[in-house]
Amino acid sequence: MTDNISLSFSHHGSPHTFDFPPTATISDLAERIYTSLSIPQAHQKFIITPKLGILKYPFPNPILPLSSLLSKKIILLAPLPSELSSFAAAAAATVASTPRSQRRTPTVKPTPYRDWQKTQDHATYTFSTLRPLPYLPNPEKSLRFLQRLRDDAGIKASMRKHKFAVGVLTEMNPAEHTTHESRTLGLNRNRGEIIELRLRTDAYDGYRDYRTIRKTLCHELAHNVYGEHDRDFWDLTNAIEKEVEGNDWRAGGHALTDQEFYNPEDGGVDGEHMDSGGWTGGEFVLGGGRSDGSGPASAKHDGLGRRELMAQAAEERMKRQREAEK
């Protein structure tokens, strides 16, 4: 008698392990998740690393042997059963409250030719989940900011080119990543499982400059490949930044309003750390270099645009004013 195999995966941070016969396939896994966790196959999406990437039902290879996945890390991206129930209840309530005369089927119009391979790639190489922090003020604004980053034409083109698939894009709580010496701008956990970005000002009264945050995102995407801030990492970061700028047909985008997404007193530049090397590694200061003096730029203002320099100057003036008032 052949021994069963045990396959482990995580869902919303909780580990799960199921036993299968040696001949089981990924379709058997999807069926077991449906019967055991009450998550329909249509809502199941797996992030499998290394190499395989994102697999979504119906699978490209429905007979993929589970035995080939035993050494891989598997994350199930799917709503909890309670969330599915609430979605269904809300949809039913909406239909019930709509007069029958208004329940019209929209007219279907013919669409021009579409590059379906490109469309599929954009659906695969993206951020599977956007997660604002619900306990901070105005999470709906943070969600719109994350959506803007996800839908940025330059970001989409670069992620498709490098085949980057990120599980969760979320915002960072400034209070949890601030010291007397530095402020962290972004973090990449487990090669793209989660990317955190510092969207908000330190006073939580506004949002930081969009282009600075987008540049931070380029930096963190490079950590999907390289952990250390070595030459390979910087070459990839620079390539991503050029791709993002070159493919953004909106010429870099614009703020929804000057008040909502830009705070001129918080330029997001001086004295702030991009991250701590992705998973491990040195410290990088945006606009400077690594803490050991290496990196693409060591001068204080190298690589900064006019708007960023103006924001930095404003922040430095405020610092001097506060010191003078002491």
Active site positions, annotated: 220
Give pairs for 245-250: CB < 8 Å, separation 24+: 245/154, 246/154, 247/153, 247/154, 247/156, 247/157, 247/158, 248/152, 248/153, 248/154, 249/153, 250/153
CA separation for the pair 274, 220 (Å, rounded)? 8
**Residue 3 DSSP one-character state:** P
CA separation for the pair 172, 170 (Å, rounded)? 7
E strand or H helix at 217, and its extent? helix 210-222
CA separation for the pair 44, 167 (Å, rounded)? 13
CA separation for the pair 61, 320 (Å, rounded)? 62
Region of 74 (left: φ > 0; alpha: ψ -120 to 50; beta: rest) is beta
**Residue 107 DSSP one-character state:** P
Shortest CA distance to 264 belongs to which of 308, 324, 220?
308
Give pairs for 140-146: CB < 8 Å, separation 24+: 141/207, 141/260, 142/171, 142/199, 142/200, 142/207, 144/256, 145/171, 145/199, 145/207, 145/210, 145/213, 145/261, 146/170, 146/171, 146/199
In contact, 284 and 274? CB cutoff 8 Å: yes
DSSP bridge pairs for 74? 48
